[in-house]
A and B are shown apart, each in its own frame.
Chain A
Amino acid sequence: MENNINIKLKVWRQQNARDKGRFETFKLDNISTDSSFLEMMDILNEQLVNEGKEPIAFDHDCREGICGMCSLYINGRPHGPDDDITTCQLHMRKFKNNETITIEPWRSAGFPVIKDLIVDRTAFDQIIAAGGYVSVNTGGIPDANALPISKDEADEAMDAASCIGCGACVAACKNGSAMLFVSAKVSQLALLPQGRVEAARRAKNMVARMDDLGFGNCTNTGACEVECPKGISLANIARLNREFLVAKIQD
């Protein structure tokens, strides 16, 4: 069902990290409700280029919800007005004719703005570098029955592994906390025998790096879980707390 809408956009523009930044407004006519949100952004940018103006900088890559590159805080929500999707999976049918759409970058002290809608999320890479991997050689694929893993554990590990590192959890959190992200990365490995070996060290090092980078303390509001495009559960945060506390007390 082809349907076109006219929209007004209020977009955050910021030259660089030191610039104060401001909103700019744009009008776009005849946007198909079948187009994706980022296609709409492409149309706007094409229009800006044709007018000799500088296009709006925003992050994106796979455009199919798996890479974690796209961001954008749209009309009061990270990844916009739909549940369990990334911005690149958002469609214009979620908006009404003549609606004003406000687009902002993630806002958190841990994610400083680089330009316009792009923020610096390398803090997440640094947290991963602190231990979010398996460093022992786990050999080839073991026989299916050599290392039994219960279905529940396997499912939970897979669910935790679906985190794409987009940072919406931090963007949604009133405390600027990265606990949902870190807990997913700790859980996906702690639940499986290959990752279990280094679990204690991993939890301690990743949390220490998270704290160093200035992310906030989790107060369990649950906003992260609501806005996470992959539905990462708060149960992972309880698991991280357990892993971390037990590791520290054993020291």
Chain B
Amino acid sequence: MSSLLCSSIGKKLLMGLSGLFLMMFLLIHLAVNSLLLVPDGGDTFNAAAHFMATNPAIKIMEPLLGVGFLIHIVWGILLTIQNRKARGSSRYASGNKTTGVSWASKNMFILGVTILAFLVLHIAHFWVKMKVTGDPLLEHTLVNIGGVDTEVENAYRLVNATFSYLWIMIVYVVAGIGLALHLSHGFWSSLQSIGFSNELWRKRLNTVGQLYAWIVGLGFSLIALLQYLFYQG
């Protein structure tokens, strides 16, 4: 087992599996976030956030998600360092004129670091306030869940207030685009890395991957933008 994970292909397996896991998480995250756009003062979103915060399955997933991120980031850095070394120190004076190679595929590390920088900010904005320090904006509110009035944290108010700042909105929009680029290569790449691709599936995976990447990435961007523009006051 250790010799598998020390090999180049084994390391790529971890990278691919952690990437796939994170992409599944993103889909759920986006689905919940899209409820921020339901124009009912945040009741639907608060109910969903309450469900996510109390659901035992989600409780188990949370540390797993942390591990997934950690593996992806640590191995991403490790692979990048090894690859720079394998490339060697001499550069081509005549540059690189190879055509048909996507920009994203050559810049996965930079895109990853962009996502990581955003992630730190994102965790400070929401996770820390909701799980650790608390925030006056989160003061409990009543929502009707399945006919029962339930007291829940007002997560919507915190999100809404955060997106009232122009700079925060811009950071989220840019991060969404960075994420879309990362995944426009990452989706196909993760499946190729675990061996699930061939001449035919490559075209299919690429199409699905582009759709997934841009819907998810721009989806997050759009939610931040719409919150800033139309959901204030």
Contacts and interface: CB of A to CB of B under 8 A. Distances in A.
Given A23-B93, A104-B92, A216-B86, A221 B101 contact: yes
A208 B194 CA distance: 17
Interface string A202-219: 000001101100111111
Interface stretch (B53-61, B116-124, B162-170, B184-192): B184-192
Contact of A238 (B4, B94, B196): B196
B101 A226 contact: yes
B79 to A, nearest CB: 5
Interface string A229-248: 00001110111111011101
Nearest to A244: B9
A76 interface: yes
B1 to A, nearest CB: 8
Given A73-B92, A76-B92, A108-B87, A249 B4 contact: yes
Interface residues of B, number: 44
Interface in A39-98: 73-77, 81
Contacts of B199: 233, 235
A218 B108 CA distance: 12
B193 to A, nearest CB: 6
A167 to B, nearest CB: 13
A107 B95 CA distance: 12
B88 A108 contact: yes
A56 B194 CA distance: 44
B78 to A, nearest CB: 9
Interface stretch (A27-35, A126-134, A135-143, A172-180): A172-180
A8 to B, nearest CB: 13
Nearest to B6: A211
B96 interface: yes
B82 A174 contact: no
A172 B97 CA distance: 10
A159 to B, nearest CB: 10
Interface residues of A, number: 51
Contact of B189 (A75, A81, A177, A220): A220
Given A73-B94, A207-B7, A235-B202, A220 B85 contact: no
A75 B95 CA distance: 8
A102 interface: yes
Interface string B5-17: 0011111110000
Contacts of A176: 83, 86-88
A239 B101 contact: no
Given A235-B197, A241-B9, A220 B98 contact: no
A82 B9 CA distance: 31
A161 interface: no
Interface of A: 10, 23, 73-77, 81, 102, 104, 107-110, 172-177, 179, 207-208, 210-211, 214-223, 226-227, 233-235, 237-242, 244-246, 248-249
Given A216-B82, A220-B188, A223-B101, 13 more contacts: A77-B96, A104-B94, A107-B92, A175-B83, A217-B82, A222-B101, A226-B98, A235-B197, A237-B192, A238-B197, A239-B195, A241-B192, A241-B193
22 contacts: A73-B94, A74-B94, A76-B92, A76-B98, A107-B90, A175-B83, A177-B86, A179-B8, A208-B7, A210-B8, A215-B8, A217-B11, A218-B8, A221-B101, A221-B106, A221-B185, A222-B100, A222-B101, A226-B101, A238-B195, A239-B195, A244-B7
Interface of B: 3-4, 7-13, 79, 82-83, 85-88, 90-102, 105-106, 108, 185, 188-189, 192-199, 202
